[in-house]
Amino acid sequence: MFSKSAAYYDEIYASIGKDYARESSKAHRLIQKYSSAGGRTLLDVACGTGHHAGFFGENYQVTGLDLDPGMLSIARNKYPKIRFYTGNMLNFKLKKRFDAIVCLFSSIGYVKTRSNLQKALSCMDRHLAPGGVILIEPWFSPKQWHVGRVFTTQVNKPDLKIVRMSRSVLRGKISVIEFQYLIGTPQGIEHAVEHHELGLFTHTEYVRALRSVGLKVIHDAEGLDGRGLYIGIKS
């Protein structure tokens, strides 16, 4: 998914001020508030380059999971003490349970369909210890998605210039983001294109999916960064 941009992912989101430290701290407080598991193990599903995982490592024994080898390679280089696994959130098998599981930065949208949302949450629930909590940061709902919007992001460093332009598309209940990159380094200027597809789920669909696996659900409308947050609590 991020085959073209993995090497520049952290630079791009640093340029727009994404505050991983603050988000991880808030998530930690919520885990401590709602968890009764008593342990300190945490699984970061769709961990990407491991930025959240690195901050979670200050309070937890962290494991990371992601489908993208390029992102995981960066995560392993940044945080060699954290164990990262390659796996699909729909069907991963780690043979252990965790006191907390997080799936942040709207990565849950990559499951695309309601049936896959159910599979992903069922898989996470199987890896959750009694009393543990799952934090799910949602993607846009169908009403929030606006077709045709165009955005630009820029990185401006002495030896690295990036312009990323995105355009939003809709295919049924799938949101599609077309990313086009111009990446300038002393070695030259590269053009790259990516297409990302994410499912548009309603609030009701998230709540039903979490409840269907036996979790008590709390919805935090603000969440970690204004996207909202679903907290699933295992009895």
- Listing DSSP states for 123-158 in one string gives HHHHTEEEEEEEEE-----TTT--TT-EEEEEEEET
| Whole-number pLDDT of residue 81 | 97
Tell me the pLDDT of the chain (235 aa) as tens digits: 666 789 999 999 999 999 999 999 999 999 999 999 999 999 999 999 999 999 999 999 999 999 999 999 999 999 999 999 999 999 999 999 999 999 999 999 999 999 999 999 999 999 999 999 999 999 999 999 999 999 999 999 999 999 999 999 999 999 999 999 999 999 999 999 999 999 999 999 999 999 999 999 999 999 999 999 999 999 9
Per-residue pLDDT at 2: 65
181: left (phi > 0), else alpha (psi -120 to 50), else beta?
Answer: beta
Q: Give the helix/strand (H/E) hosting 26.
A: helix 20-34
> Domains plus CATH for the chain?
17-141+201-233 (3.40.50.150), 150-199 (2.20.130.10)
Q: Residue 4: what pLDDT?
A: 73
Distance CA 205, CA 213 (A): 13
Instruction: Kindly report the pTM of this predicted structure.
Output: 0.97
Give residue 114's pLDDT. Answer: 98
Beta carbons within 8 Å of 31's beta carbon, 6+ residues apart: 42, 99, 100, 133, 135
